[in-house]
Copies of this chain bind each other. A is one copy, B any other.
Amino acid sequence: MISDGSKLAVFMLGALDDQIGKMGAGLLRYSPHEIVCVIEPGHAGGSIPAAIGIDHPAKIVATVDEAAALGADVFVLGIAPPGGQIPDDWYPWIDKAIAKGMSIVNGLHDHLGPKYPDLQNGQWIWDIRQEPEGKPAVTLRASKMPAKRVLLVGTDMSVGKMTVGLELHKEARAQGIKASFVATGQIGITIMGRGVPLDAVRLDFAAGFIEDAVVECADSDLIFVEGQGSLCHPDSNSPLPLFRGAQATHLIMCHRAGMDRLMRMQAVEVPPLRDLMKLCEDLAAGGGTFIRPVTAAVALNTAHLNAEEAAKAIADLEQEVGIPVDDPVRNGAEKLLNTVR
């Protein structure tokens, strides 16, 4: 939806250095599009590296007018507040962006399209979190593709499945491999410009949309599919349609070092990693009906550890699970990529 040559302004009012700004942070890290500025009056005039430690040259400005002066033609809501509603005080900013001729990218549950029905001159609103057109049904086409299909799975939500997939995708492309990344959440979709907003899709069609998205990557040799949720999280419905639609040949298990309970449900213990890996493989195989994927590696999120602690956590876990373990954000994605090449 975001065309080549677009210039993005990322709206992060009061959230540049906050967890709810992870949509904007994801874009700054991985967007293939030019980001000309971040709009956040509280940090105006500052630099992105100084504010949040991401190496990006975008300016930080205070107004939509300044963004327009920098040539921005796409205004991206870079904040994901709890509940997914658009706060009232954002509307003057959105109104102004539209008045300045910008198109809008919105990854929240609230939709903007119906509120601005009369756009002209090629302006558009992309409400990412809504079911795409069509009522696709799985016909196991993914299983017949020659490409390797790598599904990111995890021990919890927010352990880094998208990040690991994007790092692997970036490394693969850097090595000249024909690689694709199938985004399944609003941040990944905004970064890639396409994908399946899985949590907004009706249950009946979930696996079908995934299969369609995977099959669209037919000219790739290596397809990374962004996972969602976890088989040990009680409110996680996405793993099954992801397994069925993607028919993965490889899994990479994503985990945060030292986490033994779900972050937002402390009553629930995370099972031993090998048990969860086996369950993922068993479920993917469907009792012998489908392809049985190999868990190729564990991607370990060590962001909260120092270098020495991280190295020890990686070595210890490698010992425990018997397959390669690494933190691709800290150490680069080469080691993990080698496990699925």
Contact = CB atoms under 8 A, between A and B. Distances in A.
Given A202-B201, A204-B199, A204-B200, A244 B239 contact: no
A137 interface: yes
Interface in A262-319: 265, 267-272, 275-276, 278-279, 282-283, 286-290
A275 B283 CA distance: 11
A198 B279 CA distance: 24
A31 interface: no
Contacts of A278: 287
Interface string A5-28: 000000000000000000000000
A231 B140 contact: no
Contacts of A203: 198-203, 206, 237-238, 241
Contact of A207 (B198, B206, B235, B290): B235
A81 to B, nearest CB: 15
A287 B271 contact: yes
Contacts of A234: 138-140, 207, 244, 286, 289-290
A208 interface: yes
Interface residues of A, number: 44
Contacts of A339: none
Contacts of A204: 199-200, 237
Interface in A170-211: 198-204, 206-208
A268 B139 CA distance: 10
Given A140-B267, A200-B202, A288-B271, A241 B232 contact: no
Contacts of A279: 282-283, 286-287
A240 interface: yes
Contact of A276 (B207, B240, B287): B287
A338 interface: no
Given A199-B202, A202-B201, A282-B279, A287 B240 contact: no
25 contacts: A131-B202, A138-B235, A140-B234, A140-B267, A140-B268, A199-B203, A200-B204, A201-B203, A202-B202, A203-B241, A206-B237, A207-B234, A207-B236, A231-B286, A231-B287, A234-B290, A237-B237, A237-B240, A269-B289, A272-B288, A275-B287, A276-B287, A279-B286, A282-B283, A283-B283
Given A237-B240, A271-B289, 13 more contacts: A131-B202, A138-B235, A198-B203, A199-B202, A202-B202, A203-B206, A207-B234, A208-B235, A231-B283, A231-B287, A237-B244, A275-B288, A279-B283
